[in-house]
Amino acid sequence: MTYDRLVCANCAAPVAEGRCPVCRANRERLQQEGPFGGMSPVMLLALLVALIATLAMFAAYRTA
Ligand SMILES: [Zn+2]
């Protein structure tokens, strides 16, 4: 998610400029989230479990 065009509700300036504490807090939070910021850790974990289960099923079919 990009925050370049996000406007702060507190100071009405772009969040990326970090003019007020609200801007800076939002900017830090968005930067920490990284490329998977739109996904929750629970969602990522569920995807990982589903992937492992699928691979395990493939392995079982191939050996049977
Ligand atoms: Zn602000």
Distance of CA 35 from the midpoint of ligand 1 (Å): 23
Bridge partners of 14, per DSSP, are 7
Rg over alpha carbons for the chain, rounded to the nearest Å, is 20
Which residues have CB atoms below 5 A from the ion given as ligand 1? Answer: 8, 10-11, 20, 22-23
Task: Report whether pLDDT(4) > 80.
Answer: no
Alpha-carbon dihedral sign for residues 44, 46, 48, 54:
negative
Distance of CA 34 from the midpoint of ligand 1 (Å): 21
For the chain, the first-to-last Cα distance in angstroms comes to 44
pLDDT, tens digit, 9 for 90 and up, residues 10-64: 999 999 899 999 999 988 887 776 665 666 788 889 999 999 999 999 999 887 6
Distance of CA 6 from the midpoint of ligand 1 (Å): 10
Look up residue 37 and give its DSSP letter. T
